[in-house]
Structure 1
Amino acid sequence: MFRFEVVKSDRKARRGRLHTPRGIIETPVFMPVGTQGTVKAMIHKLLEEVGTQIILGNTYHLYLRPGVDIIKEAGGLHSFIGWQKPILTDSGGFQVFSLARERLKDGRSKVKITQDGVHFRDHLSGDHHFFTPEKVIELQEAFGSDIIMPLDECVEYPTTYAYAKEALERTLAWLDRSIRAKKRQDQVLFGIVQGAFFEDLRKESALRTAERELFGYSIGGLSVGEPREVMVEMAELVCEYLPWEKPRYLMGVGMPEDLLMAVGAGVDMFDCVAPTRMARTGTLFTSQGRINIRAERYKRDFSPPDPECNCYTCKNFSKAYLRHLFASDEISAYILNTIHNLYFYHRLMDGVRKAIEEGSFEQYKKQWLEKLSVAVG
C-alpha cells in the first residue's frame, strides 16, 4: 500500500513520489502543520485549493484535546477532522521536551526523562502524564494517521557531547520498542536521526537508524536555534548515510530558504508553522521579497501583494485592503494572508520539482535565494 520512488535526481536533489492508500504525494513536499487537527485560519477546502497534499497532526496536542477516545469513536483522525488525504502525526516528543525549559513554582522541571519514557505535566491543566514509546505508537494507531513517528529525545542547542550521545542511545532504544509495539499494517513508521551538532554522532545515528530498515527516515533536532549553515551542514551529512531509495523528512524546518537549501542536501519532506504563523502576524512571502503588510507604506497601495501570484488573495485584493483588515483586527486578515503564504510555499515546491526534472535545480535555487533575501518592508 505504501511505496516511495525517486523518479529523477539533480545532484543530491531528488524528485520523488510517495504512494499511500490515500493518494500519491509528489516530493519534495511541504506539509502544513495542523497541530490540533486543523491548519490555523484555514478550512480543508481552502487547503486543497492551494495545493496541499498532506497535513501534519501532533500526538501530544490531540492526546490532550479532544482525547484519543473521542477520535476513536469518530472512526479515526481522518473521519473526525474530515480530511481524506494523507496525514502524518509526529510523536509529540518535541512538544514534551520543550516543556523541559519551563519550571513549576517550586523550581522543578515539568519533564522527567527516564529509560522507560517521559513523565511530564501538560501545558493546559498541569496534570501529570507518562509517555512511553509503546503509548505513543498506541495513540497514533488509534488516530489512524498514515505516517507515524516514534518517541525520540530532542536536545537543545547547544548541548554537551555526553548528553547528545546519551539522548542518541535512548532514541534508538525507544525506536526498537516502537517497532515491536507497532501492529497496524496500514501505517508506516519513520525512524528519527538525532545526534545534536556533532558530526560523528549524526553519522552514527543515521547509520544505526538505517539498520532498522524502516519505510522512511526523519532528521530531528535541527532548527532549534543553530545558524542556518549549521542546520544545512547537518542535514547534508545525515542524508549521505541514509538509504537513497527511502524518503527523508526534515522535521520542523520550513523557512523558504531552508527548504531550498535542504532539498539541495537531499531532503524530500518538510513541515513548519512558519507560513501560517507569520501570516497571522502580517508577514507575506512574495516573489519580490518578504513584506510586512502592517507597514504604513501600504495604506494606499492598491496593487496585489504579489503581482506574480495567482492565489485567491492576490487575484482579488490589494495590499491596502489587507493592511486595513489587519489594522481592524478582522479574522479575514488571517485567512487571506494564510491562503497566500501556503499557496506561495506550494508553488515554490512545484517549481523545485520541475527544476529537478529539468536538471536546473541549482539555478532555480540561486534565483529564489536572491529573491528571498529581499525584505521589501
Structure 2
Amino acid sequence: MKFAVKALSSGKARAGVVHLGSCPSSIETPCLLLSTRKGLPIFISPDLLSSLPSPDSNLLQFSPLHFSEGPSPKTISSIGGLHQMVGLHEYGFAAVARDSIQCLPECGSTNKTGASFETPCGRRLIKPVEYMEMITSMKPNLWATLADEVPAWANNKRNKTSVDRTVKWLDECIARSPAGGAVFGSIVGGSNIEERKRCAQEVAVRNVSGYWIGGFGLGESMEERPSLLNAVTDNLPKDWPRMICGLGLPGGCCRSGSF
C-alpha cells in the first residue's frame, strides 16, 4: 500500500490518494467506506455495486467477526480469500473487528486474554491468535488490529486499561502478521484526552502502515469529538494514512468508516 498527501488546508484537513497493490484503481481521500456484511454491501447485490450513483471509493469495510458463523478460516483460505469468495476482485477490502451496526462494548470487563465482541452467534471472546487466523485466511488489502473500545462514560481507570490492552494486542497481532495486507494500528482511550494521546504515541512507534482510530460513536457528545480527535492526530505522523469509525452520518449504519 502507498499513500500520498496531495493537499493540506489551513487547519488539519488533508487530501490524498491511496494505492492498494491488488486494487486496480486508486482511492482518493478523504472518502467514506461502504460497510458490508461478510464482504457484501447490505441490500445491494454484487452486480449492482458498480451502478451506485456516486461511489466514494473502491474500498469496502468488513468485520472478520461476522464469519464466526459460516465458513471457517481454513475453508476461506482454501477458496483463496475474501476477494475470491465474493467475486469482487476490483474492490479493496479493509478488515476492522468493529461491527458497523452493533458495536457498543461492555464497560468494566475484567477480561485480559482477548477482546469481547458481539457476533451473529452472541458475545464471543476473540484472542489475537484467533483473530490473525481470520485475517490470514481472508487476505484483506488492509486490516486493523484488535482494540478494547470503551463507551464515553467509562472511568479513567477503565480508559487506561483499554489503552494498555490495545497496545498489548497490537504487539501480539504484529508478531503474527501475515505476509500480505497493510496493518493499521488501533488507537483508543475513550473520553480521556491524556489516554488518547498516550495510545497514539505508543502506536506511532510501532511497525504499522497506518492508523485506525476507534472509540467514537460510543456516547461522546459532538462537542467532545474535536479535542479527542486532535489528541490523536497531533501525535501521529502527518503523512500517514488514517481510518476512523463511529462518526455516524451520512448513511447511518450503512456507511460506518472514513479514510
Q: TM-score, normalised by structure 2?
A: 0.86
Correspondence 1:86 to 2:97: no
Q: Which residue of 2 aligns with 1:8?
A: 7
State the superposition RMSD in angstroms.
Answer: 2.7
Correspondence 1:114 to 2:75: no
Q: Which residue of 1 aligns with 2:211?
A: 217
Correspondence 1:246 to 2:240: yes
Of the structure 1 ranges 84-93 and 43-52, higher mean CA displacement relative to structure 2 is found in 43-52
The match for 2:59 among 54, 58, 82 is 54
- Percent sequence identity is 24
Secondary structure at the aligned position of 2:162 is classed as: helix
Instruction: Summarize the Cα distance change of 1:92–1:65 in structure 2 as closer, same or farther, 3 Å threshold.
Output: farther
- Aligned-partner Cα distance in 2 for 1:39–1:207: 34
Q: Which residue of 2 aligns with 1:181?
A: 176
Is contact 1:94-1:153 (8 Å) kept? no
Give the structure with the higher percent strand. 2
Instruction: Summarize the Cα distance change of 1:243–1:204 in structure 2 as closer, same or farther, 3 Å threshold.
Output: same
Q: Which residue of 2 aligns with 1:194?
A: 188
- Aligned-partner Cα distance in 1 for 2:226–2:67: 31
Q: Which residue of 1 aligns with 2:47?
A: 45
1:93, CA displacement in angstroms?
A: 7.8
Q: Which runs of 4+ in 1 moved over 4 A?
A: 92-97, 119-123
Instruction: Summarize the Cα distance change of 1:251–1:92 in structure 2 as closer, same or farther, 3 Å threshold.
Output: closer
Which letter does structure 2 place at the counterpart of 1:117? G
Which letter does structure 2 place at the counterpart of 1:8? A
Q: Which residue of 2 aligns with 1:36?
A: 38
Q: Which residue of 2 aligns with 1:302?
A: none
Deviation string 1:188-224 (CA, Å, 9 cap, x unpaired) is 1001111111111111111111011411011110111
Secondary structure at the aligned position of 2:41 is classed as: coil
- Aligned-partner Cα distance in 2 for 1:145–1:155: 26
- Aligned-partner Cα distance in 1 for 2:110–2:86: 32
Instruction: Summarize the Cα distance change of 1:71–1:95 in structure 2 as closer, same or farther, 3 Å threshold.
Output: farther
Instruction: Summarize the Cα distance change of 1:178–1:210 in structure 2 as closer, same or farther, 3 Å threshold.
Output: same
Is contact 1:217-1:248 (8 Å) kept? yes
Which letter does structure 2 place at the counterpart of 1:89? A
Q: TM-score, normalised by structure 1?
A: 0.61
- Aligned-partner Cα distance in 2 for 1:7–1:172: 31
Which letter does structure 1 place at the counterpart of 2:132? I
Of the structure 1 ranges 247-256 and 136-145, higher mean CA displacement relative to structure 2 is found in 247-256
Instruction: Summarize the Cα distance change of 1:217–1:120 in structure 2 as closer, same or farther, 3 Å threshold.
Output: closer
Instruction: Summarize the Cα distance change of 1:95–1:48 in structure 2 as closer, same or farther, 3 Å threshold.
Output: closer
The higher radius of gyration belongs to 1
Is contact 2:68-2:119 (8 Å) kept? no
Structure 1: which 5+ runs fail to align? 102-108, 257-272, 277-341, 350-377
- Aligned-partner Cα distance in 2 for 1:223–1:231: 9
Correspondence 1:66 to 2:65: no
Is contact 1:60-1:95 (8 Å) kept? no
Which letter does structure 2 place at the counterpart of 1:20? L
